[in-house]
Amino acid sequence: MLGIDLTGKRALVCGVADDGGFGFSIAKQFANAGASVCVGTWPPAMGIFETLLRRGKMDDSRKLANGSMLEFERIYPLDAAYDTLAAAPEDVRTNKRYAERGDFSIEGMVKRLTDDFGDKCVDIIVHSLANGSEVRNLLLDTSRAGYLQAVGVSAYSLISLTSKLGPHMRAGGSVLSLTYMASERVIPGYGGGMSSAKAALESDTRVLAFEAGRRWGIRVNTISAGPFASRAASAIGIIEAMVEYAKVNSPLPEELTADDVGNTAAFLASPLAAGITGTTIYVDKGYHAMGKSL
């Protein structure tokens, strides 16, 4: 029987702060396939996340196919807006929710990971990171600062993660990110530079696949997921309408589930996808193929 087997592999999923989004489902499906899982969590959300886990509030979501529970090897503080701790403004570094976490930068997370598990310590990296403070603004009304923030956090962070973690990945490693169709088509209401960030993310995926493939022998792909009403997506303000529109107009007229994306991520991270790199994989019930609404 041909199955997805990630036994003996370690995954780092960056951007998990609750059990309601793609990142959590990806982590769960990795665990179902036998991988050990670490996560990177935004410092202001980390306390609540750890408390919910400790009190068993996520136990139903954490149940794996074999009856055991999803356990995270480590939960690392991560604010992907900063490559180094020194790059964070003083008011961020001294903020209570940040200061108590130590080095929350990408560099800091990489150091903690290698301190905990050694040099060649990770097989799978997942970039489930996106943020645009002006996402509800039209692009015409987006400030330079808002635009650059969206691109920096949502796209450049993939470059930074790959650059800093690539040397510590084992042979056959896989890097995955999450994108959205706004990279190539106009989605009114998805503004603030986020469409630009997703376009950059997809372009960077192709270039990183070449460069990281030649330098370290790792693969880089991105999943273009359909709209999904996660807690994070609620910031857009019209996510429910986006989900319903995609459902009505897709070849498969049903709502996307987080497990649809998690299953695809597990496949792309596995040896079964050893020949796939530099690719955008659509997981959207076929909506991307449509040229006219119904």
Active site residues: 180, 190
Q: What are phi and psi of 102, to 5 degrees?
A: 75, -145
Amino acid identity, position 254: E
Residues in contact with 220: Cβ distance below 8 Å, sequence separation at least 6, in sequence order: 162, 174, 175, 176, 205, 208, 209, 212, 213, 277, 278
Tokens 């589930």 found at:
257
Question: Are residues 266 and 32 in contact, defined by beta-carbon separation less than 8 angstroms?
Answer: yes
Q: What are phi and psi of 138, to 5 degrees?
A: -60, 155
Residues in contact with 282: Cβ distance below 8 Å, sequence separation at least 6, in sequence order: 223, 224, 288
Compute how many other C-beta atoms are within 10 angstroms of the C-beta atom of residue 216: 17
First to last CA, the chain: 40
Three-class secondary structure of residue 33 per DSSP: coil
Report residue 21 CA to chain centroid gap.
Answer: 10
Of 97, 109, 124, the closest CA to residue 4 belongs to 124
Question: Are residues 159 and 208 in contact, defined by beta-carbon separation less than 8 angstroms?
Answer: yes
Residue 65 DSSP class: T
- Residue 91 structure tokens: 């008011």
